[in-house]
Amino acid sequence: MNHKLNFFMEGNLEQNNENNKSSEINRKLKSEEHEPSKSENPNNQKNDNDPPTQVVPKPKKEIPIEKKPFQEFINIHLIPALTEEINQRGLEISKINLKDTNRPIAGDKCWVLNCEIKEICSFWLSFENDDISSLKSFSLSKPNQEPSIIESFLIDEKRITLKLIISRVMQRLNGQKLLGVN
């Protein structure tokens, strides 16, 4: 009887070993389904059949023009855009420039954008510092006259943009009926 029991136990052991082996094979197959690169290339070495990996550099984010240096913003962006806006209204600019000079009326030293619109008016947009977010003022006069009023400009705005500056300059000129019929 011992012999039969040993034979029966050995048969069960062999069957258990086979079951364990098949379970292990099934686990490996399942893990290979989830991670095919490891089963194909266990050492993670480059295979000649693999497609070349391309490194795509992140595009550099262009800084907004309003964050560019003050003189660059004024001379390269604001002056041309303002000139174009005024020209589109059928008016001609005879002079436009930026100077570090005395503010009209107040006389303090600051950056002043002076613009003369031929036979219409002259205006001065002053920046207290070389920063478009600094305090600003606006003065206006008839041709060949000195300005008599200085007004604050864009004092309540949190974010100063090129479009905002242009629209408010045009609004001031239009408010004086200098751009034609309202």
Q: What pLDDT digit, counting tens, does each position of 53-105 carry?
A: 778 777 788 888 899 999 999 999 999 999 999 999 999 999 999 999 999 99
Alpha carbon 158 to its chain's center? 17
**Residues 69 and 35 grouped into a single domain:** no
User: 150, 135 in Cβ contact below 8 A?
Assistant: no
What pLDDT, on a 0 to 100 scale, did the predictor assign at position 55? 80
Confidence band for 178, pLDDT divided at 50, 70 and 90: confident
Alpha carbon 161 to its chain's center? 13
**Position 24 in a domain:** yes
Query: What is the C-alpha to C-alpha distance for residues 65 and 49, in angstroms, rounded to an integer?
Result: 47
> What would the two tokens of residue 145 be?
């006259």
> Could you list the residue range(s) of the whole structural domain that residue 130 is in?
65-175
Q: How many domains does the chain have?
A: 2
**Residues 33 and 95 grouped into a single domain:** no
Q: Which residue has the higher pLDDT, 114 or 14?
A: 114
**Residues 35 and 104 grouped into a single domain:** no
**Residues 73 and 143 grouped into a single domain:** yes
Confidence band for 7, pLDDT divided at 50, 70 and 90: very low
Q: Is the pLDDT at 121 greater than 80, yes or no?
A: yes
Query: What is the C-alpha to C-alpha distance for residues 47 and 52, in angstroms, rounded to an integer?
Result: 10
**Residues 34 and 101 grouped into a single domain:** no
**Residues 77 and 12 grouped into a single domain:** no
**Residues 88 and 18 grouped into a single domain:** no
When mean pLDDT is compared over 5-14, 37-46, 163-172, the highest value belongs to 163-172
**Position 46 in a domain:** no
Q: Is the pLDDT at 12 greater than 70, yes or no?
A: no
What pLDDT, on a 0 to 100 scale, did the predictor assign at position 140? 94
Q: In what order do the strands lie in the sheet with 93-102?
A: 93-102, 109-117, 121-127, 136-141, 150-152
**Position 52 in a domain:** no
Alpha carbon 104 to its chain's center? 35
**Residues 79 and 163 grouped into a single domain:** yes
**Residues 80 and 163 grouped into a single domain:** yes
Q: What is the pLDDT of residues 13-60, one digit of tens each?
A: 455 555 555 556 556 555 555 554 444 555 556 666 666 677 877 778
**Residues 141 and 98 grouped into a single domain:** yes
Q: Is the pLDDT at 160 greater than 80, yes or no?
A: yes
Reduce the DSSP state of residue 102 to 3 states and report it: strand
**Residues 81 and 163 grouped into a single domain:** yes
**Residues 159 and 75 grouped into a single domain:** yes
Query: What is the C-alpha to C-alpha distance for residues 98 and 72, in angstroms, rounded to an integer?
Result: 11
Query: What is the C-alpha to C-alpha distance for residues 180 and 170, in angstroms, rounded to an integer?
Result: 12
**Position 55 in a domain:** no
